[in-house]
């Protein structure tokens, strides 16, 4: 003790040595250089938002998908994709090799191992909110993702926004999700009804002519309404007229009462703004009503399904969907590098190719992780800023922009057509790609749908 | 939309066809309630089992075998269900019966979803029932081109035949006489030496068999997915309530009434969604026992 004391005192007594001056100067230089960085980092660290800061060596993601109910098959495929994304985030592989620009290393997110919890939305807004809240409050997830219906996605998006948790939408196609209901904490990679209308209508008028009369049957909820409006708007721009529109309750299984109305009208095109089981039922019913072999106004009566999925096509059966046109966000037959590597890793893992729902969920998880890496933090406002106006490629839809103004991805979308039973070579190619409509064509002014993103730091 | 004669015909046919499915399901429900006094909420699940069996047999072996096999299988299933579970609840409260049958319905639904997946399974209509019927060829008052799917008209005919067969069984046979007597006073029948329990078991199997017939012909119309049973159960149960609990005639009238109401309100979504409940409320207010319900039953 005495020795130390004396050393200290001798040090003080001798004033500044050359060595201590050098030490102090270099420390000061490092400190000065890092000052702006320290300020920003301290600013994040001071604000706890949602489940930020992330404690421990693991970070938890919440996958909230329909595990029961009408969209359970789609939910199951989404969950497969999420698990694959976690595997790739922790160990590398998959789209980590194709996504550009990317800071993903295959070593988790920001050095933390990625784990996950799952929930069941039951395709029910209340159940989805309860499940999301449980993940946020009990399991401390930093991000929630999932959903296979717009009503559910919007409900979760509002909740997450309020609680300061980023919500990466799964399959949701309503204009409202990134339109009037958009939220600062909500992001959608999937395309929307407006883009469907824009991409599909020119193909329809080329295929079926400009003098057509359309009758719409529309699922009575957020997505159906916006899908109908968009299809009507863009088909009328092509010269078509609209004979009528009937809103059908979501739980309808027999559409004969509505199809009788179509039979009784002058319409020569039937637009089915239905998704999932709804579309399977309405299309099958329409075929039973002979609508695929019928002539109206001297033309063949045509059926259009604006939003297509492989699972729906399979449910309806290839005889019924043969030749029917619609759109998809992605298809496993795409030949770009990102799609190929995703299809290969998914098929190796599960034995069959992924659906478009699986694709969007997988990409959303990677994009969120990459945004954290780019921001250098899990602090939500910084992650949001990293996602906003992020331009990327190698994720399966060509060059893509995550538009900052409404959190909508602007990317290529696909016009699809039902394959005939004889043209089908496997249990997975119910649909074939007719056209890949580029991002520029389907782009639109985000202001047309109104809505406000709100502040970066939730009130 | 103009109400032309063509449109009116389509409305009526659609109403009849929608009503047919309700009648077939409600018939089994009301038969079981009328005789056994059990509110069987698993009846929708019996229909569900029927459509899954029907679609599997139809797609693999053809419609003929589905028609021959499904109703007897459902009969056996109904008997087993009555012996294994339902009979233990005869003396319990209606709420207990509802809870156990509703629980069973959920278990069966999830089981089918587990085996077959949540996605729809396409039900191919046999060639003789496929396509449309040119109504204008048969009905001279129709103008121009008016068509209706053959299969749905077949469904209406099947429904009429089934209803007639059940009425004949109950009113023209000795078995029916015993059953009807048992419905009046089961205790007295037992005093008279009639094994009424065995007959009630057969009635449960019969109700289940009608669900089987409904499944074979209704599957292509309602489609084959796990949600179908529950979707049909509520309107069918309301048909039983409107018609009068336990009244076969009431179920037929109420089924057609509900079908017509759904058909005629189709263009107006708000009305269309609530019309069944609206009719139920009005009828129960005016006539609490239902259209043809027996006095004092559920009044």
Domains of chain A, residue spans: 58-191+335-407, 194-328
> Does the distance separating the beta carbons of A254 and B21 come in below 8 Å?
yes
Q: Which residue of B1, B152, B222 is in closest CB contact with A253?
A: B222
Q: For residue A393, what pLDDT is reported?
A: 96
User: Which residues from chain A sit within 8 angstroms of residue B275, using beta carbons?
Assistant: none
Q: Which structure tokens are listed for B90? A: 């005869």
For A154-184, b/e burial (b = at least 16 CB within 10 A) is bbbbbbbbebbbbbbbbbbbbbbbbbebbbb
The whole-number average pLDDT for the span B285-290 is 90
- Minimal Cα distance from A281: which residue of B? B223
Task: Quickly list DSSP for A305-362.
Answer: EEE--HHHHHHH-HHHHBT-EEEES--TT--SHHHHHHHHHHHHHHSS---HHHHHHH
User: Which residues from chain B sit within 8 angstroms of residue A288, using beta carbons?
Assistant: 125, 149, 151-152, 220-221
How many angstroms away from the CA of B60 is the closest CA of chain A?
15
Q: Which residue of A68, A73, A249 is in closest CB contact with B273?
A: A249
In the block, residue with structure tokens 């040595």 = A17
> Does the distance separating the beta carbons of B149 and A289 come in below 8 Å?
yes
CA separation for the pair B246, B184 (Å, rounded): 11
User: Which residues from chain B sit within 8 angstroms of residue A313, using beta carbons?
Assistant: none
Strands A213-219 and A166-169: unpaired
Q: Which residues of chain A have pLDDT under 70?
A: 1-46, 69-70
Question: Given CB atoms, is B282 within the 8 Å cutoff of chain A?
Answer: no
Q: Is residue B97 over pLDDT 70?
A: yes
* Count of CB atoms situated within 10 Å of the CB of B267: 15
Q: For residue A73, what pLDDT is reported?
A: 80
Question: Given CB atoms, is B267 within the 8 Å cutoff of chain A?
Answer: yes
Interface confidence: ipTM more than 0.85: no
How many angstroms away from the CA of A122 is the closest CA of chain B?
12
Strands A390-392 and A400-402: antiparallel
Domain A194-328 class in CATH: alpha beta
The whole-number average pLDDT for the span B79-84 is 92
Q: Where does residue B64 rank: exposed (0-12), middle (13-18), buried (19+ CB within 10 A)?
A: exposed
CB-hemisphere CA count at 13 Å for A320? 26
Question: Given CB atoms, is A277 within the 8 Å cutoff of chain B?
Answer: yes
> Does the distance separating the beta carbons of B266 and A246 come in below 8 Å?
yes
> Does the distance separating the beta carbons of B228 and A315 come in below 8 Å?
no
The dihedral formed by the CA atoms of B228, B231, B232 and B235, expressed in degrees to the nearest 10: -170
Domain A58-191+335-407 class in CATH: alpha beta
Condensed to tens digits (0 to 9), the pLDDT of residues B221-264 reads 888 888 888 888 888 889 999 998 888 899 999 999 999 999 99
The whole-number average pLDDT for the span B209-214 is 95
- Residue A433 · residue A341 · CB < 8 Å: no
Ramachandran region of residue A249, left (φ > 0), alpha (ψ -120 to 50) or beta?
beta
Tell me the sheet residues that pair with A100: A393
Q: Going by C-beta distance under 8 Å and a sequence separation of 6 or more, which residues neighbour residue A449? A: A175, A176, A178, A179, A180, A182, A194, A406
> Does the distance separating the beta carbons of B121 and A253 come in below 8 Å?
no
- Residue A129 · residue A135 · CB < 8 Å: no
CA separation for the pair B220, A9 (Å, rounded): 97
User: Which residues from chain B sit within 8 angstroms of residue A251, using beta carbons?
Assistant: 227, 231
Q: For residue A31, what pLDDT is reported?
A: 45
Q: Which residue of A68, A251, A260 is in closest CB contact with B11?
A: A260
How many angstroms away from the CA of A218 is the closest CA of chain B?
10
Beta-sheet strand order (sheet of A413-418) = A241-248, A213-219, A269-273, A302-307, A325-328, A413-418, A431-437
- Minimal Cα distance from A67: which residue of B? B118
CB-hemisphere CA count at 13 Å for A369? 34
Name the helix (H) or strand (E) containing A146: strand A143-146
Same fold yes or no, A58-191+335-407 and A194-328: yes
- Residue B81 · residue B208 · CB < 8 Å: yes
> Does the distance separating the beta carbons of B269 and A277 come in below 8 Å?
no
Strands A431-437 and A143-146: unpaired
Q: For residue A17, what pLDDT is reported?
A: 52
Give the DSSP letter of residue A52.
P
Domains of chain B, by residue range, sit at: 35-233
Q: Where does residue A117 rank: exposed (0-12), middle (13-18), buried (19+ CB within 10 A)?
A: middle
Question: Given CB atoms, is B58 within the 8 Å cutoff of chain A?
Answer: no
Q: Going by C-beta distance under 8 Å and a sequence separation of 6 or more, which residues neighbour residue A316? A: A279, A280, A283, A284, B120, B122
How many angstroms away from the CA of A296 is the closest CA of chain B?
10
How many angstroms away from the CA of A242 is the closest CA of chain B?
14
Q: Which structure tokens are listed for A223? A: 């997505």
> Does the distance separating the beta carbons of A220 and B269 come in below 8 Å?
yes
Q: Is residue B1 over pLDDT 70?
A: no
Residue A418 CA: distances (Å) to CA of A239, A270, A305, A326, B194: 25, 16, 10, 8, 61
> Does the distance separating the beta carbons of A281 and B120 come in below 8 Å?
yes
CA separation for the pair B105, B93 (Å, rounded): 18
CB pairs under 8 A between A and B: 117
Q: For residue A21, what pLDDT is reported?
A: 44
Q: Which structure tokens are listed for A162? A: 């309020």
Question: Given CB atoms, is B42 within the 8 Å cutoff of chain A?
Answer: no
What residues of chain A, 100 to 139, have a C-beta less than 8 Å from chain B?
A: none
Find the range with the poorest average confidence among A194-198, B19-23, B77-81, B122-126. Answer: B122-126
Question: Given CB atoms, is B20 within the 8 Å cutoff of chain A?
Answer: no
């Amino acid at each position: 003790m005495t020795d130390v004391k004396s050393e200290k005192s001798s040090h003080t007594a001798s004033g500044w040595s050359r060595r201590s001056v050098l030490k102090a100067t270099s420390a000061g230089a490092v400190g000065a250089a890092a000052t702006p960085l320290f300020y920003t980092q301290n600013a994040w660290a001071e604000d706890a938002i949602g489940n930020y800061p992330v404690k421990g060596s693991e970070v938890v993601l919440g996958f909230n998908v329909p595990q029961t109910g009408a969209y359970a098959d789609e939910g199951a495929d989404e969950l497969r994709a999420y698990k694959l994304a976690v595997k790739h985030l922790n160990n590398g592989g998959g789209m980590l090799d194709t996504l550009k620009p990317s800071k993903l290393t295959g070593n988790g997110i920001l050095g933390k191992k990625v784990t996950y919890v799952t929930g069941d939305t039951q395709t029910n807004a209340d159940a989805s909110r309860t499940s999301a809240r449980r993940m946020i409050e009990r399991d401390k997830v930093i991000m929630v993702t999932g959903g296979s219906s717009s009503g559910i996605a919007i409900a979760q998006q509002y909740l997450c926004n309020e609680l300061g948790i980023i919500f990466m939408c799964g399959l949701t196609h309503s204009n409202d999700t990134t339109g009037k209901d958009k939220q600062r904490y909500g992001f959608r990679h999937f395309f929307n009804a407006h883009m469907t209308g824009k991409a599909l209508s020119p193909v329809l008028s080329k295929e079926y002519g400009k003098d057509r009369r359309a009758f719409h049957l529309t699922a009575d909820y957020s997505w159906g309404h916006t899908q109908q409006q968009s299809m009507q708007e863009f088909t009328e721009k092509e010269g078509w007229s609209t004979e009528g529109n009937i809103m059908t309750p979501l739980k309808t299984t027999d559409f004969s009462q509505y199809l009788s109305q179509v039979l009784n009208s002058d319409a020569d095109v039937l637009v089915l703004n239905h998704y999932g089981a709804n579309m399977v039922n309405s299309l099958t019913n329409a075929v039973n009503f002979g609508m695929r072999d019928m002539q109206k106004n001297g033309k063949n009566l045509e059926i259009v399904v604006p939003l297509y999925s492989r699972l729906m096509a399979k449910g309806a059966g290839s005889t019924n969907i043969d030749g029917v046109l619609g759109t998809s966000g992605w298809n496993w037959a795409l030949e770009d590098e990102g799609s190929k590597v995703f299809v290969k890793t998914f098929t190796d893992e599960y034995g069959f190719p992924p659906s478009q729902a699986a694709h969007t969920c997988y990409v959303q998880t990677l994009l969120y992780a990459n945004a954290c890496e780019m921001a250098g933090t899990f602090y939500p406002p910084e992650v949001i800023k990293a996602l906003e106006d992020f331009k990327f490629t190698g994720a399966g839809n060509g060059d893509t922009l995550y538009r900052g103004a409404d959190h909508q991805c602007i990317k290529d979308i696909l016009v699809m057509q039902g394959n005939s039973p004889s043209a089908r070579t496997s249990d997975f190619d119910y649909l074939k790609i007719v056209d890949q409509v580029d991002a520029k064509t389907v782009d639109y002014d985000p202001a047309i749908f109104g809505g406000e993103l709100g502040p970066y730091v939730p009130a | 939309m103009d109400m032309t004669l063509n449109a009116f015909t389509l409305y009526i046919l659609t109403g009849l066809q929608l009503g047919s499915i309700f009648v077939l399901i409600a018939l089994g429900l009301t038969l079981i309630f009328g005789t056994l006094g059990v509110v069987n909420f698993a009846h929708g699940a019996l229909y569900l089992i029927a459509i899954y069996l029907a679609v599997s047999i139809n797609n693999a072996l053809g419609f003929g075998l589905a028609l021959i096999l499904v109703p007897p299988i459902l009969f056996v299933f109904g008997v087993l269900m009555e012996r294994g579970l339902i009979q233990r609840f005869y003396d319990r409260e209606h709420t207990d019966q509802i809870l156990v049958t509703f629980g069973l319905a959920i278990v069966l639904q999830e089981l089918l979803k587990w085996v077959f997946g949540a996605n729809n399974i396409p039900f191919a209509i046999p060639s003789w029932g496929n396509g449309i019927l040119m109504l204008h060829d048969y009905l001279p008052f129709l103008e121009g081109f008016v068509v209706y799917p053959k299969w749905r008209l077949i469904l209406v005919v099947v429904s009429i035949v089934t209803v007639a067969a059940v009425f004949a069984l109950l009113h023209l046979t000795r078995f029916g006489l015993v059953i009807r007597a048992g419905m009046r006073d089961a205790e007295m029948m037992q005093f008279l030496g009639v094994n009424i329990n065995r007959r009630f078991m057969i009635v449960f199997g019969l109700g289940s068999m009608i669900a089987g017939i409904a499944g074979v012909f209704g599957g292509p119309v309602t489609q084959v997915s796990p949600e179908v049973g529950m979707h049909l159960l509520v309107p069918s149960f309301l048909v039983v309530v409107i018609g009068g609990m336990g009244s076969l005639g009431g179920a037929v009238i109420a089924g057609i009434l509900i079908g017509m109401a759904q058909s005629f309100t189709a263009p107006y979504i708000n009305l269309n969604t609530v019309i069944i409940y609206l009719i139920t409320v009005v009828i129960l207010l005016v006539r609490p026992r239902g259209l043809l319900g027996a006095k004092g039953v559920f009044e």
